[in-house]
Amino acid sequence: MRDFPSCFGENGVQVADSSSSSNKTAQNLVACLYQAQLSGHSCIITVTWSKSLMGQALSVAIDDATNQCICKVDIKPWLFSKRKGSKSFGGDNAKADIYWDLSAAKFGSGPEPLENFYVAVTFDFEMVLLIGDLTKEAYRKTNACPPPSNAVFIAKREHVFGKKLYCTKAQFCDNGQVHDIIIDCETLGLKDPCLEIRIDKKRVMQVKRLSWKFRGNQTIVVDGLPVEVFWDVHNWLFGMPTGNAVFMFQTCLSTNKLLPVSCSQVIRESQLQGLAFSLILHAWRNE
């Protein structure tokens, strides 16, 4: 959670930019965070997919409740011998294993695979986390025993690119619909820029006089749930031309909550106050 927004205000938001580099190619990544149980203790598993001129890469990190790294596997850039494999941590009495098979994975325009893959984390032959559609192959390879993983998808950080439209997909609740999200914002050369957000082609939010409201937050409703939307387009309006804007979509059971003020609190609040899922988008302009 170290790269997530770190400073929230009551009536607006200042969202920290996790990247100081203007090299957009190196910033093409998607990081997915899962809350899981490892030997009866809560942990956070971060699966990061990235893409650069050197190729695609995968990173899997396991952190304990205090944000201390337990183990981490980096596969970058992918070599043919690295698209399928495993790595073990710990001793004979308590061993964690990370397995991956990306040899037949299919990709779209982004760094995250779409199908024909799996990434699995096991502990003492119990499935801690399993992502991807090759579930039978994963259980056969890992020799994991039931029950299946009960890991919860709690946050996603993604870099998106465009000139005026910035698009992604998100699922705001378990077993819910996957929604198309479009951020429509043109700021170059306009005296009165405007921000518009559409979900499944329906406008759910519009911010006029953006030069005065370059940071803020507003509540929308998706799948019957309140979703708090935060935006910070200061870099687009007043910063470097290559700077990025940051958007955050955060689901919650109540819109009258105090939002987390630090990265570690995002997890704590998700447990104590019902904050279910956070989507962080770093929006970069294509030159």
Helix (H, G, I), strand (E, B) or coil at 110: coil
- Residue 145 per-residue DSSP state: B
pLDDT grade, residue 231 (50/70/90)? very high
Q: What is the DSSP letter of 105?
A: -
Question: What pTM does this model have?
Answer: 0.80
pLDDT band at 91 (very low <50, low <70, confident <90, very high): low
What is the arithmetic mean of pLDDT over 245-261?
66
Instruction: Convert the pLDDT of each residue in 196-216 to its tens digit.
Output: 999 999 999 999 999 899 999
- For the segment 5-21, what is each residue's pLDDT rounded down to a tens digit? 433 333 333 444 444 44
Please spell the DSSP secondary structure of 164-222, one letter per residue.
SEEEEEEE-STT-PEEEEEEEEE-TT-SS-EEEEEETTEEEEEE-STTT-SEEEEEEEE
Answer yes or no: are the C-beta atoms of 154 and 33 closer than 8 Å.
Answer: yes
Q: What is the mean pLDDT of the chain?
A: 80
What's the rounded Cα separation, in Å, for the pair 219 and 230? 9
- Cα–Cα dist 117/104, whole Å: 7
| Phi-psi domain of 265 (left: phi exceeds 0; alpha: psi -120 through 50; beta: other) | alpha
30-34, 120-124, 173-177, 263-267: least confident range: 263-267
d(CA 285, CA 164): 8
Q: Which of 199-203, 238-242, 257-261 has the lowest mean pLDDT?
A: 257-261
pLDDT (0 to 100) of residue 277: 86
**What pLDDT, in 10s, does the model give residues 52-80?**
887 888 999 998 877 788 888 888 777 65
